[in-house]
Every structure is written in C-alpha cells, then in structure tokens.
Amino acid sequence: MAGWSTAITSVSLVEEALSAIEAREEELHSFLTLLPDAVEAAEALDRDRPAQAGPLYGIPYAVKDNIVTEGVRTTAASRILEGYLPPYSATAVERLQAQGALLLGKTNLDEFAMGSSTEWSAFGPSRNPVDPSRVPGGSSGGSAVAVAAGYCRYALGSETGGSVRQPAAFCGCVGLKPSYGRVSRYGLIAFASSLDQIGVLTGDVRDAGVVLGAIAGRDPHDQTSVDAPVQDYLAEIGRGARGLRFGVPAEYLAQGVDPAVRDEVLRAADLLEAQGLERREVSLAHTSYALDAYYIIAPAEASSNLARFDGMRYGPRAASDELVEAYRATRGEGFGPEVKRRILLGTYVLSAGYYDTYYLRAQKLRTLLRREFTEAFDAVDVLLTPTTPTTAFRFGENTEDPLAMYMADALTIPANLAGLCAISLPGRPAQGLPVGLQLMAAPMREDILLRAAAALEEAVR
C-alpha cells in the first residue's frame, strides 16, 4: 500500500476485488457478509479524495466476523448471533474508517473464534486457496483466505492462541499479532479476555506495519489498552535489521514438528545470519506446558464471557414458558459442539474443588513462561521458530480428535500467554504447501519485530 500511485482509484480496486471474489468465492467461502454498496462507497471516496490522502485511503479490506461493525451483520459464525446488527463499530474498525479505508465485508471463522481450521463455523468452512482440499487454519481462516486469494490487500483477524498467525502460515500470507494492549479490544466479541487481541493479515510485512500503525494506540473504551507511543513502523523497517540478535529455541523444533518445517526454519536462521543478524543460544523450557495451561485458562474465561449469550437480548430464542428451560434450549440449539466443549471444560476447571488443582496452577505456569521469555529477550531481540508444527491438514483429518486439532496452535500459544508481539511470514513451501516462519519479540517491541521480519522476508524471496 505504501507508495501506491494516486492514479489507482478505489473503484478500480473494488471492481478487481469483486472480480476475484466472483471467480473463487463459491469454492473458498471466505466471506459471511459482503457489503452490497462497496462500488458506490468507492465512488464517493474517489470523488472526495483529499490532497493528502493516507496510505489506506480507498483501499478495500475485510474484517473477521467477531469484530463488530455498526449496522453490518456480525455473527461470530454462530447461530446464536445470527442476524445481529451491532449499534457501534470496534475501535480498530473506526480508526480504519477514519483513514478512508473501505470495508468490503465480514469474513468466516470458527464459531466464537474457537478452533484451528474454520471447520467449526456454523455457516460452513472456508477452504485454503492454495489447495481447497485442505483447511485454511483458524480461527481467522476467512480473513487469511481473503488476503491469500487476492480479494483484498489486508484483513483484520483476532488472536487468542494463534488465530492470526496459524491461518497465515497455512495460506501463505503474513499474520501479525500485536502485543497485548497495543490494539484496543473494544468491539471484539470476547472469547478469553486476558488473551484476546485484534491482529492483521496482509500480503507482506510493510503492509502489516502500515495497518498496525493505523489501528494501534490507547483507547479509553478499553482499559487494557496500553498508553505507549505508536511508532512509524515503515521508518523502523527502513532502518534494517543488521546487528539485531536472534535465537532459535530448540524446544520449538522438538518432536511433532514436521522435518520439512524444521529444515525451513533452520534455513531461515542461516539467512538471517547472512543478513547481518547475530545468532545466540536460547532455551524456553516451559514451552511444552503452554498448550496445557492455555486449554485451562482460555476455556475458563470463555465460560464466563459466553454466559451473556442467552437469547434474551439478541439472537434467536428457543420457545419455552420456563426461564431456565429457555436458557438451556437456546444455548443448546445456538452453540456448536466445539463451543459447548470449551464452556463445559471452563466451567469444570473453575468449579469448587478444581480451581486450585487446575486454574490456579495454569496461571502459575503462565507466570513462569512470562519470566522465561523476559530472560530470553535479555539475550536476544527476536526469537525464530516455526509458526505451526505442520503444513495445512486435510478437511476432517482432526475434527474427531480435539487434542490433535489443538496441537496446531502449540507453537503460537506461548506468545499469547506471555503478551508478546509475534508475526508469521511465508517461508519456502514444502510439497507445494506454505510453511510459516514465526518471529517473536518482547511486549511493545513491534518496531524490532517488523525490522527483523522485513529482513527475513527479503532473504526468503
């Protein structure tokens, strides 16, 4: 987006996007809602274009359907919110609209962002544009597909345990998870509030920096947002990465990581050294416990957050003359199997007699993991790992085995538990399928993260 010619009109971009959507959307199912007046909105933007328009002005983008948009259907891919029209927009969306960005539509996801393949959407799965027999990842699968299939230059997604980076890795695009608190969560339908974060999917690292710069910053509507300066990320990228220190923790290349994925990460490490970065040894011993801790903490928070969806204020309501039965029937009919599984798990670990055994111990592990990352970032500026243990798997391969499905996020979850910033970018494909390379940096150091990511992106090309 940076450096685009002003001769390119918003109308031409929207028409190009709609042509691409017409060609493949029936197969890929990236969108749950397409705005019918996108061409008219583009015409208005072209007509009123200011002399000093910003880099996002008039460019169509997509938004994951668990991020609310005023007057535009927002379902979180769940029957329990089918037909919901929010009365306000998320802060991240408002900030993009203020820069003249053009909303193209709302993208598919695993219901309430609970999943790793977009197979748990109540409205049917999205498909990987590289190989439609394989999943696009999740839960931001629709957003990753929209970018990878060329529908739009960027899309907003959300992360709780890797839901931006993992689909980016599977589809072959860039997925950026900002530090916790860097981007306002106001208007993001809550899954696990201490982990949730709005993120960005783009075609390259520079575009990720542009979009992050537009949506980042303190928001009075979100008390967890951090009052930290938002840097000029394009200028930071321009500084280059020579002299930065990086580490490749052995724990992220352990059993379960496909040999082709491991080899690509080691090749990327050599490329970073060739770019003038200094490689150092690091270890993250508690990484192997992160998945266990996450699947206690996240469902516990979800069981509380999803209690509000009862059919009384919005969404469909099951017919019943008795209040408790109405709640039970509405939630039974409205929630899908994965959401029910996580609500039940979260309720269990928070129940009397189990809180100390499970939830409290998981939070202690989370503290240990944060300390371990802090020590690692005293020694290095960024960490290089695989984004996912494998490339995209086939539809139905893991739906009957929740633990196998959860393992798809094993390497992304630690960054969420520790509040780090992290990014996935495409490496060299393995057997024709994208491989994701993950970089992580300390909280609020997106400047360093993007410098290293741009250097790696250039080297991999």
> Among all residues, which ones are annotated catalytic?
64, 139, 163
Residue 292 CB neighbours (<10 A): 15
Q: What is the 3-state secondary structure (H, E, C) of 359-428?
A: HHHHHHHHHHHHHHHHHHHHHCCEEEEECCCCCCCECCCCCCCHHHHHHHHCCCHHHHHHCCEEEEEECC
Q: Measured at the alpha carbon of residue 99, what is the angle toward residues 95 and 100, in degrees to the nearest 5?
A: 120
3-state percent helix, strand, coil for the chain, nearest multiple of 5: 45, 15, 45
Q: Are 453 and 423 in contact (CB under 8 A)?
A: yes
Q: How far is 232 from 220, CA to CA, in rounded Å? A: 22
Q: Which residue blocks in 251-358 are alpha helix, DSSP H?
A: 259-274, 290-305, 323-334, 337-350
**In sequence order, what are the residues at sequence separation of 6 or more whose Cβ sits closer than 8 angstroms to the Cβ of residue 144?**
136, 137, 155, 157, 167, 168, 170, 171, 173, 175, 201
